[in-house]
Chain A
Amino acid sequence: QKEVEQNSGPLSVPEGAIASLNCTYSDRVSQSFFWYRQYSGKSPELIMSIYSNGDKEDGRFTAQLNKASQYVSLLIRDSQPSDSATYLCAVPLGSNTGKLIFGQGTTLQVKP
């Protein structure tokens, strides 16, 4: 069974700090990776996708991928209280299905 593992948290950081969210996956052939943000009572919203090793930056968000270690992370710089949410990591199930496996999510709390 292919798995995606995340620390459920909660991860608590002060406002303005860097929040680091981590995700490990078991399928070595995965080629694309996605981070979703889910506010309480709302649906998941795509915030980052990454396809190659290294870093991808989008505003205050940076996704980091290390395929050799089967590890993908999301850094949030200058964390704001509005970043408080659950962050879901998603990895493809198989190479050509379009299906994703989601981790259980990490709850982030940014304290003013």
Chain B
Amino acid sequence: NAGVTQTPKFQVLKTGQSMTLQCAQDMNHNSMYWYRQDPGMGLRLIYYSASEGTTDKGEVPNGYNVSRLNKREFSLRLESAAPSQTSVYFCASSATSGGATEQFFGPGTRLTVL
């Protein structure tokens, strides 16, 4: 049982380049989330998917797009990277979409945009 996995672990981009961060979970969870974590800012929700086939914006969605490919996979795309998107990105999943249940996090992707 791998839990939540993310690829890549590290990435360096130049301004304007695009990339997709991949996330997969093997816990049969319905809900999946993308967060970014910046020093002094805590964890901020970018997008979430309450269930397969649905996605919704979180607190800081600008500059990002997501795809819930199937129940297991939830990807985050940066179409035109900016230095302000330098951050650590975490994917998480939880069992139910209604009500709040524990979220389980992946290991993170450390992204630097030059």
Contacts and interface: CB of A to CB of B under 8 A. Distances in A.
A15 B26 CA distance: 38
A96 B100 CA distance: 7
Contact of A98 (B41, B43, B97): B97
- Interface class of chain B by DSSP: loop
A44 B4 CA distance: 12
Interface residues of A, number: 23
Given A44-B43, A88-B43, A98 B31 contact: yes
A103 B98 contact: no
A98 B94 CA distance: 8
Contacts of B100: 31-32, 34, 92, 97-100
Contacts of A25: none
B55 to A, nearest CB: 13
B107 interface: yes
Interface of A: 8, 31-32, 34, 42-46, 49, 88, 90, 92, 95-100, 102-105
